[in-house]
Amino acid sequence: MNRMTVLDLQKKKADNQRIVMVTAYDATMARLVDKAGVDMVLVGDSLGMVVQGHSDTLPVTLDHVVYHTACVARGLQRAHLCADMPFMTFQVSPDQAMLSAGRLLQEGRAQSVKLEGGVRVADSIRKLTEAGIPVVGHVGLTPQSVHAMGGFRVQGRTPDDAERVVEDALAVEQAGAFMVVLEAIPAPLAAEITARLAIPTIGIGAGVACDGQVLVCNDLLGLDLSFEPRFVKRFARLEEIVVGAMEAYAAEVRAGTFPGPEHAFEGRQKPKIARLY
């Protein structure tokens, strides 16, 4: 089975075919989303929140993303694999970005990398793409800038802010990125950017006009029913199923009904002695 390439993903925009992206953080989830026919898997620094239990993505390190990307790579056969560049792995200089991205491709086996920011990271994007490293941009709400933005807030609501988001998206494209994520911006603004860019746009909280969509796997599967952002649709309520299964397991262990005979191994068998006469 052939892996989805950068050219395949760009052709989808040209052919007016929507791109399906989802996050994954381990080989098991990767195998399942790949089986479902997802086009692109992102090992997001969102792992800091949904896997590590932090309140934001800032504690995630490059080693963390390399590890989880390598796990996901082992579970994929078809989907394109993109890895996030965590906080402080590319902000210092383009050279730092090159070294970080190189590890994600070489050790993590990613096919592309994603980094947050527009105009301010254009030089890093340009350096990576010139070295043959495919880059996905990320503009609008950039979670690594959560403190500067005053929290996880929708971006681009005023004319000046909207113009800034447009400038960031154009800078990402001009620097050589093959795709850009638009996060938490008004739907009309996302539609305008999608129409102006030749590269695909992937929306999360950015409306339906984007060339594709991305969601965190834990969110769309309903693994935390207390988390209810406006932009997420739950396609399942797996928290209830998992808790129910665990409760049933606990009840059977306490009642002594699990394991049953069918789950146990028989004792050592006596050797059969062949008749010699």
Whether the CA torsion 151, 156, 159, 162 is positive or negative: it is: positive
SS3 1: coil
DSSP string, 73-132: HHH-SSSEEEEE--TTSSSS-HHHHHHHHHHHHHTT--SEEE--BSGGGHHHHHHHHHTT
Q: What type of residue sits at position 102?
A: G
- Contact predicate 113/83, CB 8 Å: yes
Distance CA 111, CA 82 (A): 6
Find out whether the peptide bond into 259 is cis, omega within 30 degrees of 0. yes
Tokens matching residue 79: 């989907």
Q: What share of the chain is helix, strand, coil (3-state, %, to 5)?
A: 40, 15, 45
Distance CA 41, CA 68 (A): 12
Catalytic residue list: 183
